[in-house]
């Protein structure tokens, strides 16, 4: 049976990434040694890091004045590193979901973090609009894709203060105007690589402005200066990320990827809207995530949830259970997920419906 991988993270990677990673585990860059057992300071691995950075810069059109670095600790470590490095006294947060809320919570350890708006009142099922950001904040933090509840900010907002974004679950899914951001960070395990590395794009001029002392390892400037090699970086995850980025470039880049992602999401949302057994959790099409598509059983069919879950699994649909805090279903349709998988899921939803006359 063909298996379709809808897991939210860690999640599906391109077959290219898996194949090239297996090659690299056996023989890395013609060294005759595995990428798992070679010095991060070897010239071959140093070249891997600089090529990965060059790929990121070219795929996202990163302007001059920005640095790309790789850190460990996941996107979650950035929740505290961002305020520690960027917030003198005040910051603003848009709380659109669980991860956004966790980021906001950490900022409060460092000063006056303001929640400018939240969609918590309706279980994070929409993106708040019409909020205002006080002009004296050191930065405004957004989470572009709400991985758990399935909303997404699909445009780069125009704001008058430095903008910081957690793009962990939609990085490389669309073109981004990097010049609008002071910092972008993303854990790799959704759209890029296996878990273990976090990618950071930071505008250099925003650093060095806070008065607090910053421990060496938690200071972005340490890692810029060390070219992501101040200490041993997550070598394997960076190598795998390089393969995904090569694949992405071969595929035609983020603009083509966006087109494919829009098409995949349309196929699935259309079926959720049409099928009488299911309802989408996010009503406004503008706010609907193209990466994590969430739906539940319609009220009159609530008791069929477990049955559908088992049915889908028996047809090879893996990882479609909703996050433990939401229930229902979530199909993650990251870059590497082929359209055929979405079509297969739609066919299963139709088949299940026709069995319920």
Ligand X SMILES: *Cc1c(COP(=O)(O)O)cnc(C)c1O
Out of 138, 166, 170, 287, pick the active-site residue: 166
Beta bridge partners of 114: 92
Nearest approach in angstroms of CB 68 to ligand X is 17
- For 97, list phi and psi in degrees, rounded to 5: 175, -170
Is the CB of 108 or the CB of 315 nearer to ligand X?
108
The CA distance from 196 to 233, in Å, is: 9
Angle at alpha carbon of residue 66, lines to 61 and 72, rounded to 5°: 100
Nearest approach in angstroms of CB 169 to ligand X is 4
Binding site for ligand X (CB under 6 A): 9, 74-76, 99, 143, 147, 166, 168-169, 187, 190
Q: Which residue is nearest to ligand X (CB)?
A: 74
Nearest approach in angstroms of CB 289 to ligand X is 11
Nearest approach in angstroms of CB 52 to ligand X is 18
Is the CB of 271 or the CB of 321 nearer to ligand X?
321
Is 303 assigned a catalytic role? no
Is the CB of 74 or the CB of 316 nearer to ligand X?
74
Is the CB of 92 or the CB of 100 nearer to ligand X?
100
Is 225 assigned a catalytic role? no
Is the CB of 42 or the CB of 76 nearer to ligand X?
76
Nearest approach in angstroms of CB 224 to ligand X is 21
Is the CB of 70 or the CB of 278 nearer to ligand X?
70
Helix orientation angle between 339-354 and 305-314, rounded to the nearest 10 degrees: 130
Is the CB of 38 or the CB of 142 nearer to ligand X?
142
Nearest approach in angstroms of CB 299 to ligand X is 29
CB 67 within 8 A of CB 206: no
Out of 190, 203, 260, 264, pick the active-site residue: 190
Out of 99, 138, 156, 203, pick the active-site residue: 99
Is 166 assigned a catalytic role? yes
Nearest approach in angstroms of CB 239 to ligand X is 18
Residues with catalytic function? 99, 166, 190
């Amino acid at each position: 049976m063909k298996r379709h991988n809808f897991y939210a993270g860690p999640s599906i990677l391109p077959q290219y990434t898996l194949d090239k990673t297996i090659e690299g585990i056996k023989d890395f860059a013609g060294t005759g040694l595995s990428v798992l057992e070679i010095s991060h300071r070897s010239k071959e691995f140093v070249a891997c890091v600089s090529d990965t950075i060059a790929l990121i810069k070219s795929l996202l059109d990163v302007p001059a004045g920005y640095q790309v670095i790789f850190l460990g600790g996941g996107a979650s470590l950035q929740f505290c590193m961002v305020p520690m490095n960027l917030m003198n006294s005040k910051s603003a947060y848009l709380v659109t979901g669980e991860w956004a809320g966790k980021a906001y919570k950490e900022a409060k350890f460092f000063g006056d973090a303001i929640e400018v708006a939240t969609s918590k009142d309706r279980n994070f099922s929409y993106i708040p609009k019409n909020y205002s950001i006080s002009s004296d904040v050191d930065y405004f933090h957004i989470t572009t894709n709400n991985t758990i509840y399935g909303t997404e900010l699909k445009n780069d907002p125009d704001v008058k203060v430095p903008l910081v974004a957690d793009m962990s679950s939609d990085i490389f899914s669309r073109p981004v105007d990097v010049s609008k951001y002071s910092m972008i960070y993303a854990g790799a395990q959704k759209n890029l690589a296996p878990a273990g590395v976090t990618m950071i794009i930071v505008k250099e001029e925003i650093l060095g402005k806070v008065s607090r002392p910053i421990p060496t390892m938690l200071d972005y400037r340490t890692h810029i200066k060390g070219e992501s090699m101040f200490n041993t970086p997550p070598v394997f995850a960076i190598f795998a990320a390089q393969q995904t980025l090569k694949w992405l470039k071969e595929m035609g880049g983020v603009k083509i990827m966006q087109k494919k992602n829009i098409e995949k999401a349309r196929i699935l949302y259309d079926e959720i809207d049409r099928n009488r057994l299911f309802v989408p959790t996010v009503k406004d099409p503008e706010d609907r995530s193209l990466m994590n598509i969430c739906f539940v059983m319609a009220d009159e069919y609530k008791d069929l949830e477990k049955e559908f879950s088992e049915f889908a699994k028996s047809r090879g649909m893996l990882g479609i259970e909703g996050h433990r805090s939401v229930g229902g279903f979530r199909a993650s349709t990251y870059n590497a997920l082929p359209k055929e998988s979405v079509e297969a899921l739609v066919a299963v939803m139709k088949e299940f419906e026709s069995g319920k006359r």
